[in-house]
Amino acid sequence: QVTLRESGPALVKPTQTLTLTCTFSGFSFTIPGMCVSWIRQSQGKALEWLGLIDWKSEEHLRPSLGTRVTISRDTSKQQVVLRMTNMDPADTGTYFCVRSFAVGISCYASSFDSWGQGALVTVSS
C-alpha cells in the first residue's frame, strides 16, 4: 500500500524558509520512472504544482518560483524534502506530497496516483 505523509511547521514568519518533509512507503526511487511532486492549494485558488524530484534524482521546478524552491530526497529514509525561501503570506496554503510515474523519460506528462493528506502552512508574523 502506497502512503505519503507531509510533516513540518504549521506556522512560519514572512521571509523565513519553509522546510516540509514527505515520508513515503510502499514504493521506492529505485524503480525507474518514480516521481514525487509537491503541489499546494491556497485558499480559493486552483492547485499549483511546485516541482518534483525523479528516480534519477533530477529536480524539476516551476519556473515562476525562480530559485525559491529546492526539492531533495533521502533514499535511505524514504523522504523527499521541500524547501521554500522568503515565505510570504501569499504562500499560505495546504502543501501536498504526490506520487506519479514517468511517461517515457518525463515525469511531466502524467497524472498523480497517490497523494498525502496535506500539511497546512500559514505564513504570518
Partner 1 sequence: AIRMTQSPSSLFTVIGDRVTITCRASQVIRTSLAWYQHKPGKGPELLIYDASTLQNGVPSRFSGSGSGTEFTLTIDSLHSEDFATYFCQQYYEFPTTFGQGTRLEIK
The residues binding partner 1 (CB under 8 A) are 4, 45-49, 62-63, 96, 98, 108-118
How near is the Cβ of 125 to partner 1 at its closest, in Å? 27
* Nearer CB in complex with partner 1: 48/59: 48
Comparing CB distances to partner 1, the nearer of 16 and 78 is 78
Task: In whole angstroms, give the CA distance from residue 29 to residue 16.
Answer: 30
In the bound state with partner 1, the residue whose beta carbon lies nearer, of 65 and 85, is: 65
Coil, helix or strand for 13?
Answer: coil
Amino acid at 35: C
Quick one: cell of 51? 516541482
Closest separation in Å from C-beta 26 to partner 1: 14
Tell me phi and psi for residue 65, to 5 degrees: -85, -5
Q: How far is the CB of 16 from partner 1 (least distance, A)?
A: 25
Q: What residues does 70 pair with on adjacent strands?
A: 83
